[in-house]
A and B are shown apart, each in its own frame.
Chain A
Amino acid sequence: MMTGKGITLLAAGITLTLLGLAFGSVPLVLLGTALALFLVATHLTSRFPAIQGERVIPVERTFEGDAMEVRLAVENPGKAPFLVEIADELSPRLRVASAESVFTVPVPGNGRAERSYELATPLRGHYSLLPTRYRVTDLFDNYARESRFGTTQYVTVFPKRSELRDMPSKSRYPLGLMGEHNVMQPGQGAEFFGLREYQPGDPMKAVNWKASARLSDALVVNQREKETVAEVTLLVDARLITGRGTVARNPLLLECRAASTLASLYLSRKDKVRVVAYGESLENLPSDTGERQLYKVLSLLAGLEPAGSLPAVEAVDRILATLRPKSPVLLVSSLEGDASAVEGASRLKALNIPLFVVTPSPLHCLTAETTPAEREAVEREREATLGKLRSYGARVIDYTPDTNLQEALMVVGKQ
């Protein structure tokens, strides 16, 4: 394509030719024609270098708030050096932490040049990094060529999570005591539960020789306490309204961070975690445990986009039959415009399923365009919904973007 300089020269050539004809000036005509022919000739003879390059990204998965160094390398297989402008086309949700992300690089003949920039990942998501763009011009800067080198690469940014310490809670299934725990039943756990008579098939290492010595005609074995794990269901609100706010401050972003933190906590304690996201439809990640499940949970949370208006009660109805009694449900929702959560709470309560509501306040995500009257109305709606939820026995964790989730849990623990 022609550069601005080339277009200007062509226009100057045409104008000079016309003026030369008008005034009968041969020099003007010659100059104008020469300019135009020069541009045509350079267009036909222009040679752009064959540019090769690559981009190296150190990691493909990271967390919000991290940064990585992206390295760009340009190779010149030809003899003549050239100047090339290179830049990556990045999602507007990514941030370049270094001073520059567009480089004008001199590449020597048969040589290589490298540049790097620091890429910050402040917001969760699945990102595609298209091949790197480059632009070179011809010798006279009349024509430019733009193309790309490299391949498309993918980076996943997980929602950031905060560390949680175990905190006491008065609830029957306190959050702090989830994980492997004894359930006052004999089983295969590690804790001593009691003694019983030896039965054929018991391992000899289970025999309590001291106790057996006191009994003359029978062997006695140790009995261990049964351990079990809990199954936690994270019900994440991904309706369209949860995207209200700004790119870096909206309820869905906060919900995903909260869900990421909670999932990491429970999975680290070997609980099973199931994630159900509701918005346009129901997206269900089946219950499982371990590192692999953590990766699946984080990936799901990274890719959640606000859409739809499925109410919470409908989400609860759809999963109700699959919930295990006494296995808690953690509703992670801003609750804006969704009073049906109360109805959902009542149905869970009827089945003796504990409900915890982790709700980031949408008030702190509203923009300056929200009128005071609307803000007050949203606040009142929220308070009314929270009050009703508490009346159904739900444990409400109400937090703002600037409040640590752990501190919010502490509030619940003091109840």
Chain B
Amino acid sequence: MRLAPATAGKLAAGGLLVLLVLAAGIPYAGGEPRYSAFDDRGTDDLTTFRAVAEQDSGLQAVALASGPLALAGIPDADVARTLYVAVAVQRAVSDAEAAALLDFVARGGAVLVADDFGHGRDLAIPFGVQFSTSALWDERNLADDPGLVEASMMDGRYPSVLLNLPSTLSVEPNATTAEAVTVLGRSSAASFVDLNSDGRVDSRDQRGPFTVAVALAYAGGGRAFFVSDSGLFLDGPMDNATLQNAAFAKALLQLALPDGGAVLFDESRHHHAGAAPVMGVLGGLVQLTQRPLLLWPLVGVTVVLASLAAWRWGTPPDWRHRYHPDHPTGITRASAALPAAPADPAPSEAGDRP
């Protein structure tokens, strides 16, 4: 069945509108959202961390929907009072985004990346920080779960910070440009890296303590903090009064923003199933518009294409009737398959003349 152009146009526009509405209005179809600082749906969010930032630390919490590239748009005057936070980086990170993060720190900004086996390792690479690929366990089997690892943070000031199946960190001296590297937290001696993944300690495994948090200081005042666990700042352990996760978070925020400022929670790195297309589009748009060499040609092309389209399809055809009686028919002796008239034809025979 062939659709009329008007009907096809309406269907296309309606379908696009429905997609946009679904993408923006049903963000959690297909799964529970996690790691969001602005959507409190359970214990796997960061709303408590955000509350610590806003209420306990007097900081401004902002959702960043477009990824690290947007950091380039922060004025220099505000960079030193801005902390970028990425917890559980579930979506891939481009080289440009990782470089943008390093550039932000070089300008004086602060970065906090908390991840274990996600794409946070890609953000850490420019800083010379490496996340291990093996899980860290605790043979004390806290709460009957060897994946729960107790760490001591900030020189023992916070000895009971709980991590949930974390990885470990290492800093490659030749790969970092930081002026100073400080180990912020270590696991206990009861921790081990299960190299053979058999769930128990044996001679092939590595025993703790291991580095689980580091702080890097850069010239110009920039600082970067890496934590090898995506669950440290979740609402569950943060709300647990027996643990010191919330206290450590507050201290970390104080260390990152001693003069106050804003905390940018990167919401673009998480899987929001239904809103992913919208987030992707927005992220792409921001990437595009932050690059003048791409933006202005795009604007120019848009204006030119629109002008051409308006001229080609937007101008209604001229229906005025035109009559051209003097228009040549274009027929010649050649086109009529006739030779040219002879220059000197044979004279006529004698006969009647008018």
Contacts and interface: CB of A to CB of B under 8 A. Distances in A.
Contact of B336 (A14, A19, A244): A244
B346 A102 contact: no
A351 interface: no
A331 B88 CA distance: 99
Contacts of B142: none
A90 interface: yes
Nearest to A398: B354
Given A43-B9, A378-B341, A7 B314 contact: yes
Interface in B296-354: 298-299, 302-303, 305-307, 309-311, 313-316, 319-329, 331-333, 335-354
A85 B317 CA distance: 12
Size bin of chain A's contact surface: 35 or more
B341 A21 contact: no
A158 B290 CA distance: 72
A96 B321 contact: yes
A415 B10 CA distance: 79
Contact of B351 (A18, A95, A244, A392): A392
A10 B306 contact: yes
Contacts of B335: 240
Interface string B155-169: 000000000000000
A246 B327 contact: yes
B312 to A, nearest CB: 9
Interface residues of B, number: 64
Contacts of A181: none
A101 interface: yes
A378 B5 CA distance: 55
A241 interface: yes
A73 interface: no
A122 B325 CA distance: 9
A337 B333 contact: yes
B289 interface: yes
B338 A309 contact: yes
Contact of A1 (B16, B313, B332, B348): B313
B73 interface: yes
B17 A306 contact: no
Contacts of A6: 314
Contact of B13 (A4, A43, A92, A386): A43
B344 to A, nearest CB: 7
A384 B345 contact: yes
B14 interface: yes
B338 A96 contact: no
Interface of A: 1-8, 10-11, 14-15, 18-19, 21-22, 24, 40, 43-44, 85, 87-90, 92-96, 101-102, 122-123, 133, 135, 144-145, 239-241, 243-250, 306, 309, 336-337, 367, 369, 373-374, 377-378, 380-381, 383-388, 390-393, 396, 398, 411-412, 415
Interface of B: 5-6, 9-10, 13-14, 16-17, 73, 285-286, 288-290, 292, 295, 298-299, 302-303, 305-307, 309-311, 313-316, 319-329, 331-333, 335-354
22 contacts: A4-B310, A8-B314, A15-B299, A21-B286, A40-B16, A43-B13, A93-B323, A122-B325, A145-B6, A239-B336, A240-B335, A240-B336, A240-B337, A241-B338, A369-B328, A374-B341, A381-B341, A385-B348, A387-B347, A391-B348, A391-B352, A393-B351
